[in-house]
């Protein structure tokens, strides 16, 4: 059991990182996560995701606000989408982020898709590759707050054409935030482990519409609207509760768990518009100094989103703690 006085700094209070997903029972993943985390050291470092005493874990369905050297390998999502016939879609993703300076980082992502339609052949291939940049422009240790801006580039035509990936690019400028509630008064001290992270951006396609012709020569126009992209993650940190509110005697792996509910929404803004779609993702993050395992359900928010409840699992490595003096440090360190 980790026992840390409320006056200890962030480097004393956190241990591990995110996790992957594949086709297996939720119980299997929970047992695997607990075993991996139990085998890792229990101390924390402050290179990644800290504002004061607050550690912000890397979230799975939404993007977190901090800049760090990190690797998600892999993130696996599986969910049945569509209706009559439905398709089981399994996504295997890899994401890598490298700090150029202490507050500025670049990232790259790739997703391999496996589509299994009912009554049809399985299709495999890569989705469009992505690149991103993020700049953290504000941090308050006292108020456990982080603010960042960034942009994501979905690189059109870089994936497998047989899967029907977009031939045009989409650029998404985004504002990110993180706020811990450790500055709440003593009267509500058990609310202090709560934190909220989120993002708000607009996906801007480089092509407003596409015109295609079928075998008979008839033309079809597909609109590509600008899309409002919103993400929220409500977190309750048991390590924070144990270390900075009250030592309630939690043992492994419970003293490393962050409970989380994520919400990822998209709303077309123009060119025909459309309904809001997205998912709500309740789950558990088992965090430590080097590795974090994450397991979440993926639940459609409405009928327009379509499909059924799925699962999301991620294995995440904090490279700035694995290699603090070499590969895991900013290229240009102040």
Q: What is the 3-state secondary structure (H, E, C) of 18-67?
A: CEECCCCCHHHHHHHHHHHHHCCCCCCCCCCCEECCEECCCCCCCCCCCC
- Report the C-alpha gap between 133 and 210 in whole angstroms: 28
Q: Is 3's pLDDT higher than 90?
A: no
- Report the C-alpha gap between 170 and 177 in whole angstroms: 22
Would you place residue 26 in the very low, low, confident or very high pLDDT band (cuts 50, 70, 90)?
very low
Would you place residue 332 in the very low, low, confident or very high pLDDT band (cuts 50, 70, 90)?
very high
Cβ atoms of 197 and 65 within 8 Å: the answer is yes
The proportion of the chain whose per-residue pLDDT surpasses 70, expressed as a percent, equals 85
Residue 17 token pair:
């990182």
pLDDT tens-digit readout, 145-196: 999 999 999 999 999 999 989 999 999 999 999 999 999 999 999 999 999 9
Torsion of CA 185, 187, 188, 193, to 10 degrees: 60
- Report the C-alpha gap between 158 and 289 in whole angstroms: 35
The larger pLDDT score, comparing residue 20 to residue 268, is at 268
Instruction: Find which of 80-94, 226-240, 301-315 is predicted with most confidence, using mean pLDDT.
Output: 226-240
The larger pLDDT score, comparing residue 1 to residue 105, is at 105
Half-sphere exposure of 279 (CA within 13 A, CB side): 20
Would you place residue 2 in the very low, low, confident or very high pLDDT band (cuts 50, 70, 90)?
very low
Cβ atoms of 232 and 262 within 8 Å: the answer is yes
Rg (CA), the chain: 21
The bridge status of strand 104-117 relative to strand 87-99 is antiparallel
Would you place residue 264 in the very low, low, confident or very high pLDDT band (cuts 50, 70, 90)?
very high
Half-sphere exposure of 186 (CA within 13 A, CB side): 0
Mean pLDDT of the chain: 86
pLDDT tens-digit readout, 270-325: 987 789 999 999 999 999 889 999 999 999 999 889 889 999 999 999 999 999 98
pLDDT (0 to 100) of residue 35? 59
Cβ atoms of 76 and 88 within 8 Å: the answer is no
4-8 average pLDDT score: 32
- Residues facing 134 on adjacent strands: 105, 150
129-145 average pLDDT score: 97
Q: Is 42's pLDDT higher than 60?
A: no
Cis peptide upstream of residue 14 (ω within 30 degrees of 0): no
* 183 sits in which H/E element: none
The larger pLDDT score, comparing residue 129 to residue 273, is at 129
- Report the C-alpha gap between 285 and 54 in whole angstroms: 15
pLDDT (0 to 100) of residue 36? 56
Cβ atoms of 18 and 291 within 8 Å: the answer is yes
pLDDT (0 to 100) of residue 306? 86
Q: Which residue has the tokens 């496996």?
A: 114
- In the chain, helix, strand, coil percent, each to 5? 10, 45, 40
């Amino acid at each position: 059991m980790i026992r840390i006085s409320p006056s200890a700094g962030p480097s004393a209070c956190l241990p591990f990182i995110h996790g992957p997903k594949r086709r297996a029972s939720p119980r299997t993943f929970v047992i695997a996560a607990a075993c991996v985390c139990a085998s890792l050291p229990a101390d924390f470092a402050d290179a990644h995701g800290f504002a004061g005493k607050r550690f912000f874990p890397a979230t799975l369905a939404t993007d977190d606000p901090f800049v760090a050297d990190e690797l998600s390998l892999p993130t696996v999502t599986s969910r049945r989408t569509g209706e009559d016939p439905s398709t089981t879609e399994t996504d295997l993703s890899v994401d890598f982020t490298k700090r150029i300076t202490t507050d500025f980082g670049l990232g790259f992502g790739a997703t391999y898709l496996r589509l299994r339609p009912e009554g049809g052949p399985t299709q495999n291939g890569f989705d469009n590759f992505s690149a991103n940049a993020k700049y953290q422009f504000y941090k308050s240790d006292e108020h456990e707050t982080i603010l960042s801006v960034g942009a994501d580039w979905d690189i059109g035509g870089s994936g497998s054409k047989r899967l029907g990936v977009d031939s045009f690019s989409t650029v998404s400028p985004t504002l990110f935030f993180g706020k811990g509630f450790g500055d709440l008064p003593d009267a509500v001290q058990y609310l202090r482990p709560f934190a909220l992270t989120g993002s708000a951006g607009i996906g801007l396609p480089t092509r407003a519409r596409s015109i295609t012709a079928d075998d008979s020569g008839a033309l079809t126009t597909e609109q590509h609207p600008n899309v409002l992209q919103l993400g929220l993650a409500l977190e309750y940190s048991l390590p924070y509760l144990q270390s900075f509110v009250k030592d309630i005697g939690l043992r492994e792996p419970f003293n490393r768990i962050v409970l989380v509910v994520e919400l990822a929404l998209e709303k077309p803004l123009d060119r025909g518009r459309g309904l809001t779609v997205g998912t709500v993702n309740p789950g558990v993050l088992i965090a430590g100094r080097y590795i974090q395992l994450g397991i979440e359900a993926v639940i459609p928010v409405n009928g327009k989103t379509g499909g059924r409840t799925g699962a999301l699992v991620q294995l995440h490595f904090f490279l700035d703690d694995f290699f603090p003096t070499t590969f895991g440090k900013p290229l240009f360190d102040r």
